[in-house]
Amino acid sequence: MPLPELPLVIETNQLQRCLGQENLLLVDLSQPATYVQYHIPGAVFLDYSWIVRVEQPRMGLLPDPAQLTHVLSALGLTPDTHVVTYDDEGGGRACRLLWTLEAAGHRRFSLLNGGLRTWANQNHEISTEITWPTAGHYEVNMDFDGVATRQYILDHLSDASVALLDVRSPAEYQGRKVYAQRGGHIPGAVNLEWTEAMDPQHDLCLKPAAELRDRLAGLGITPDKEVIVYCQTHHRSAHTYVMLKSLGFEKVKGYPGSWSDWGNEPNTPIEK
């Protein structure tokens, strides 16, 4: 049975019907101890550190093509593979993988809404059996449409068609909590903490689309604009990136390195 077209955000019941089908790859980015304890049957484990690059003090940078080729080939990815990913924290690590896949030129992927917590709490089957991927060779074809660099942001600070969305905590946004040489936010950025998109009453699934659109519109984040999302490293903001895409925002970019890049640069403009 061929794998049907899957949405960007997939619900647990939709995934249940697809388990075991050809060209479906389940990737678990939970903590290693969680994966060993329980995971979705057939899911392979991927350590988050394998899909980010670190150049201290800058964290969460986009890996180079050679590293991505190595990691994606080890997963057994092919151009026809549809990746469904999840984690145990609400989707941040899982969404960073999806953003990275897009940057590597892969387009067939989905986020499991609510992740492992929702799957387990809805009494779907769980497993302790370790699944080892069959390695192959995946040809990375980099696509930077969804990637914003520091220079790109500097060039568009006065561009009214570009909106900056800072999804860190209010304390980080206001410069009261500082995890870089300097604190504050990028000039003109508005603040929406990433967890505000999640529904704590429903296992951290995304809130209803209409509610999210209204909240974003109140901040001036509308689909006609290009939206650049960032946090401290582009971990939390990767979740926001996928959330915006799921709402039909077509012009979205993520800033790898995020504040660890901007706030550790001595001459970047900052607001508090």
Chosen domain end from 121, 140, 162? 121
* pLDDT interval class at 26 (50, 70, 90): very high
In a domain, 144, yes or no: no
The whole-angstrom separation of Cα 121 and Cα 54 is 35
* pLDDT interval class at 3 (50, 70, 90): confident
How much is the average pLDDT of 16-42?
A: 96
pLDDT of residue 171: 98
> Are 180 and 94 in a shared domain?
no
Which is it for strands 198-199 and 205-206: parallel, antiparallel or unpaired?
Answer: antiparallel
The whole-angstrom separation of Cα 254 and Cα 237 is 7
Chosen domain end from 73, 100, 121? 121
In a domain, 126, yes or no: no
Q: CB neighbours (10 Å) of residue 41?
A: 14
> Are 78 and 181 in a shared domain?
no
> Are 94 and 41 in a shared domain?
yes
The whole-angstrom separation of Cα 94 and Cα 16 is 18
* pLDDT interval class at 239 (50, 70, 90): very high
Mean pLDDT of the chain: 97
> Are 15 and 88 in a shared domain?
yes
The whole-angstrom separation of Cα 93 and Cα 71 is 15
In a domain, 66, yes or no: yes
pLDDT of residue 2: 72
In a domain, 137, yes or no: no
In a domain, 4, yes or no: no
* CATH number of 227's domain: 3.40.250.10
| Catalytic residue, candidates 18, 95, 205, 231 | 231
> Are 85 and 160 in a shared domain?
no
Q: Name the DSSP letter for residue 230.
A: E
> Are 90 and 154 in a shared domain?
no
In a domain, 203, yes or no: yes
DSSP string, 87-119: -SSSSHHHHHHHHHHHHTT---EEEETTHHHHH
> Are 200 and 103 in a shared domain?
no
Q: Say if residue 237's pLDDT is above 90.
A: yes
Q: What is the residue range of 205's domain?
A: 150-262
The whole-angstrom separation of Cα 268 and Cα 233 is 16
> Are 70 and 114 in a shared domain?
yes
Counting residues of the chain whose pLDDT is more than 90, the rounded percentage is 98
Cα first-last separation, the chain: 55
95 is catalytic: no
Q: Say if residue 136's pLDDT is above 70.
A: yes
What's the pTM? 0.97
> Are 99 and 21 in a shared domain?
yes
Chosen domain end from 71, 102, 121? 121
> Are 181 and 84 in a shared domain?
no
The whole-angstrom separation of Cα 224 and Cα 264 is 31
Q: Say if residue 159's pLDDT is above 90.
A: yes
Counting residues of the chain whose pLDDT is more than 70, the rounded percentage is 100
> Are 113 and 169 in a shared domain?
no
In a domain, 271, yes or no: no
In a domain, 48, yes or no: yes
How much is the average pLDDT of 22-51?
A: 97
Number of domains in the chain: 2
Q: Say if residue 260's pLDDT is above 90.
A: yes
pLDDT of residue 1: 64
The whole-angstrom separation of Cα 139 and Cα 59 is 25
> Are 155 and 100 in a shared domain?
no
